[in-house]
Amino acid sequence: MKLAIIRIKGESHLIDEVYDTLIMLKLKKINACIVRESTPSLVGMIKKVQHLLTWGEVNPEMEKKLKAKEKDGVINLAPPRKGYGRKGIKISFTQKGAYGDRKEKINLLLERML
């Protein structure tokens, strides 16, 4: 299973451990996206910085579109049309916000960001 991981929050007041994890994920800027195979180590890194990211299972068609825009393993996306969610980026996706696991709904967000 391939995961698309998007950074949705900036760098203000990050501790070194969280910052280093974002660097290892190559998510240096807001709206940066990576597509990786789901592994236990990747899931652990995501959980450490989950309040800064949104992620989900990407379908093969969307993966092809993203690979076309990829440079050095990172896809720089535009901000999503109509926003991330009704309650913004400070609330989790399960509570109608933006950050956290979107499962297959990540494809709808990626479509709005391409």
Q: What is the Cα–Cα distance from 75 to 31, expressed in whole angstroms?
A: 8
3-state secondary structure of 48: helix
3-state secondary structure of 52: helix
Q: Which residues contact 1 (CB under 8 A, 6 or more apart)?
A: 37, 38, 57
pLDDT in tens, 43-99: 999 999 999 999 999 999 999 999 999 999 999 999 999 888 778 888 888 888 889
Q: What is the Cα–Cα distance from 49 to 40, expressed in whole angstroms?
A: 15
pLDDT in tens, 5-30: 999 988 878 899 999 999 999 999 99
Q: What is the Cα–Cα distance from 79 to 114, expressed in whole angstroms?
A: 9
- Choose among 1, 2, 5: nearest CA to 101: 5
| pLDDT score for 27 | 94
Bridge partners, residue 92, by sequence: 99
**Which domains does the chain carry?**
2-113 (3.30.1390.20)
This prediction has a pTM of 0.91
Q: What is the Cα–Cα distance from 114 to 108, expressed in whole angstroms?
A: 10
